[in-house]
Amino acid sequence: MAELADVSDQTFEAEVLKSDKPTLVDFWAEWCAPCRQISPILHDLASTYGDQVKVVKMNIDDNPNTPSQYGVRAIPTVLAFSNGQVVEQITGARPKAAFEEMIQKLV
């Protein structure tokens, strides 16, 4: 299982917006049960698609600026970025197929 890199308000621009690969950002929190539910899915997808798509996570409790900038009002929220722009969003726990479909649109 691939380990997901943590991004912060400080590293978001370099790691996500200027990434040479499409990037999924998982906005999560320690206390969020649905976040823990989708975590293994995202780790699995990072293992499968890691050479084509970057998958990272951001703890919203530690990094309040970026989630608010992108209108994240509920977690988990996964945003797909391509060329520095949000191209798709999934909010809430969803089956693996929903996240795989999101990745397929990026690759």
| Percentage of the chain modeled with pLDDT above 70 | 98
Find residue 56's DSSP bridge partners: 5, 25
pLDDT in tens, 36-86: 999 999 999 999 999 999 999 999 999 999 999 999 999 999 999 999 999
Residue 99 pLDDT exceeds 80: yes
- Residue of 16, 32, 46, 90 with catalytic role: 32
Question: Strands of 85-91's sheet, edge to edge?
Answer: 5-6, 54-59, 23-28, 77-82, 85-91
Which CATH homologous superfamily contains domain 5-106? Glutaredoxin (3.40.30.10)
- Residue of 4, 16, 35, 60 with catalytic role: 35
Q: How confident is the model at residue 2 (pLDDT cuts 50, 70, 90)?
A: low
Per-domain residue ranges of the chain:
5-106
Residue 3 pLDDT exceeds 90: no
In the residue annotation, 32 being an active-site residue is answered as yes
pTM: 0.96
- Average pLDDT for 18-25: 96
Is the CB of residue 107 less than 8 Å from the CB of residue 49?
A: yes
In the residue annotation, 35 being an active-site residue is answered as yes
Helix count and strand count (H, E) for the chain:
4, 5
Residue 1 pLDDT exceeds 60: no
